[in-house]
Amino acid sequence: MNHLTHSDVTALLLAISVLLLCARALGEFFQRLKQPAILGELIAGILLGPTVLGAIYPELQGMLFPTDGPVAIALEAFTTISITLFLFIAGMEVDMSTVWRQGRSTIAVSVLGLLVPFAVGWLAAFFFPYRLGFEGDLSVHVFAMFFATASSITALPVIVKILMDLNMFRSDLGMIIVGAAVVNDLLGWLIFAVILSLMAKSGAGGMPIQTTILLTFGLAALLLTVGRWAIEKLVVWAQAYLTWPGGIIGFSLGLSLLCAALTEAIGIHAIFGAFLFGVAFGENRHLREHTKAILDRFVSFFFAPIFFAGIGLKVNFLTGFDFGVVAVVLGLASVGKIYGAMWGAKLAGIAKQEAYAIGFAMNARGAMEIILGMLALQAGLIREKLFVALVVMALVTSMTSGSLMQRMLKRNKPAKLVDLLTAKRFTARLKATTADECIDELVGLVGVGEKVSMEKIAREVHSREQLLPTGLENGVAVPHARLSEIEEPIVCVGLSEEGIDFNAPDGSKARVIFLLLTSADKHASQLELLADIAKTFGTQTAVDNAVECVGFTEFLAHVRSPHIPQA
């Protein structure tokens, strides 16, 4: 069989499209529930794989996702390329400069946050391997080393997302966490690379292990020093002389796959090369955000979902699930990681509450843990039971660390306009022609069920408006009031084609009017909402586009999916 037949092509395209569509659908669903998208993507694979679909309709499952023949090979090749590109993107997020910026604290958190769970993991796996899903025909030494590494890994992308959600990414604490996670990630992956080559006994082409290890560290050192410098020059050159952004996109993807081929050839997995290249490439002040966005979005929403859903096709999560193993893995890894990182933070002189928050943040594992587990499973380093336990551990830690951090720091997530908009509290055609009428009309949209009467709301908003008019520039107005009776912010929106005079400084008539009602206790909510409105409706074009909306869905689409001007 050297060519794909007509039905092979059909099967391949069907398999990839079904994987992608289901993964994205469930990914979006879980994101709506404020859970990580990867959870939904994995579940999509579990539903389509042997665990569910295979148990109910084994024939259909085998037809859609064959484990044999050219389509199986093609799918495997495609997921290999997917994971390689995903690691390239993950590498791009690693910003080494954060490590230097916070210096001592970062080093303390990362070193203890790595060593403690590593030691705990190693001891547990070495002395009680069977409790961790170890099976007789493996090497206990390599197994213990792997479990130690798996316990100490951290997922940079998850942490970055949690910090951004909490508006803490640019804070000192946020930078310490990110810096420590960067060091953790780099060291963790290097150790894992060494384990994989140990495992392979003799590297590819009969290369001795020492050579593989030496080449691995050599390549890492080279890429992160001279390589980084050369890539920076290359990027400037490419931006000056090649088509843009096509030049950079083609070359960065090509070079990341080339580095992947190189590491695969020296006996460690392809993804290390792509990851290292990503680190060297991404940390580059000349690289444009637009180029990064194209690479990141396409890989994250095309290749990554296919890979993560593909994991569910390979493993039976029902037969592989062992409650004892899951509990032990989750407990050991979390305790080691949280206490290790916290201990490091305390040594660096960070207060107790914040040190705990750092520990919780560093405990998020996410995609990286799952990829590590998958590679170990493929390499025969672990069996299904431990793999399933690692996946559960990765998901549980990712899902909990945000809210644990939030509770520890008593931080509220900033109020966001997009979360507060509802169809009931929106009207595309305001009847009002004056500011007073408009306020009454918008207050009318609040509806029943609030602890405060509409009359009181209207009174408060009117008196606030008389104090100082709320018309902004570009045709936006934000009548508002703080009320002691309400807890969560309320936003009502009205559009007016003719415009209503809210005494804006630029004399413009308001065409998009937001009524903002916030709790009298939470001072910040109102400012956060105002900032969000100013950002979203800061340009004339944004307001013009919004006014043209004929319904709530279109309006919401404008807020959630902004028009970004292209070159």
Compare residues 140 and 423 and give the one whose CB is closer to its own copies.
423
Site for its own copies in 56-115 (CB under 8 A): 67-70, 72-74, 76-78, 80-81, 84
Q: Which of 126, 169, 298, 321 binds its own copies (CB under 8 A)?
A: 298
Q: Say whether residue 454 binds its own copies (CB under 8 A).
A: no
Binding flag, residue 553, its own copies (CB under 8 A): yes
Least distance between its own copies and beta carbon 274 (Å): 9
Enumerate residues 6+ apart whose C-beta is below 8 A from 521. 484
Are the beta carbons of 389 and 329 closer than 8 angstroms? yes
Asked whether 94 and 185 are in contact (CB, 8 A), the reply is: yes
Using the structure block, give the residue that is written with the tokens 């993107």.
89
For residue 434, how many C-alpha atoms fall within 13 Å in the half-sphere facing its CB?
Answer: 4
Question: How far lies 135's CA from each of 121, 130, 143, 230, 437, in Å?
Answer: 17, 7, 10, 46, 75
With H, G, I as helix, E, B as strand and everything else as coil, classify residue 54: helix
Q: By CB under 8 A, what part of segment 241-280 binds its own copies? A: 241-251, 253-255, 257-258, 260-261, 264-265, 270
Counting contacts by CB under 8 A, is residue 288 touching its own copies?
yes
Contact between 290 and its own copies by CB under 8 A: the answer reads yes
Shortest Cβ distance from residue 50 to its own copies (Å)?
Answer: 16
- The three-state DSSP-derived secondary structure of 165-204 is HCCCCCCHHHHHHHHHHHHHHHHHHHHHHHHHHHHCCCCH
Residue 290 or residue 383: which is nearer to its own copies going by CB?
Answer: 290
Q: Which is nearer to its own copies, 484 or 566 (CB)?
A: 566
195-234 positions binding its own copies, by CB under 8 A: 204
> Do residues 54 and 417 lie in contact, with contact meaning Cβ atoms separated by under 8 Å?
no
Shortest spacing between CB 137 and its own copies, in angstroms? 19
On whether the CB atoms of residues 358 and 341 are closer than 8 A, the answer is: yes
DSSP symbol at 516:
E
Alpha helices in 348-423 (DSSP H): 352-362, 366-378, 384-409, 417-420
Measuring CA to CA, which residue among 195, 125, 112, 104 is closest to residue 154? 112
**Residue 118 to residues 127, 148, 187, 275, 337: CA-CA distances in angstroms?**
14, 4, 12, 22, 8
Task: Give whichever of 169 and 244 is closer to its own copies, judged by the CB atom.
Answer: 244
* Member of 140, 221, 318, 557 binding its own copies (CB under 8 A): 557
**Binds its own copies by CB under 8 A, chosen from 120, 295, 361, 391:** 295
Specify the residue, 304 or 404, whose C-beta has the smaller distance to its own copies. 304
d(CA 307, CA 78): 8
Closer residue to its own copies (CB): 54 or 245: 245
Q: How many Å apart are CA 248 and CA 125, to the nearest integer?
A: 45
| Closest CB 153 distance from its own copies, rounded Å | 23
> Which x/- pattern, by CB under 8 A, does the window 9-48 give for its own copies?
xx-xxx-xxx-xx-xx--xx--xx----x-----------
What CA–CA distance (Å, rounded) separates 246 from 242? 8
Contact 231/91 with Cβ under 8 angstroms?
no
Please, what is the minimum distance in Å from the beta carbon of residue 68 to its own copies?
5
- Interface region with its own copies, contact rule CB under 8 A, candidates 172-180, 298-306, 408-416, 522-530: 298-306
Question: Candidates 117-125, 301-309, 364-372, 499-507 — which segment interacts with its own copies by CB under 8 A?
Answer: 301-309
- Binding residues for its own copies restricted to 511-530, rule: CB under 8 A: none
Output the smallest distance, CB 567 to its own copies, in A. 5
Supply the minimum distance, in Å, between the C-beta of residue 189 and its own copies: 18
- Residue with smaller CB distance to its own copies, 131 or 290: 290
Tokens 């970062």 locate to 106
Q: Is 335 in the site for its own copies (CB under 8 A)?
A: no
Among 60, 221, 240, 527, the residue binding its own copies under the rule CB under 8 A is 240
Interaction between residue 4 and its own copies (CB under 8 A): yes
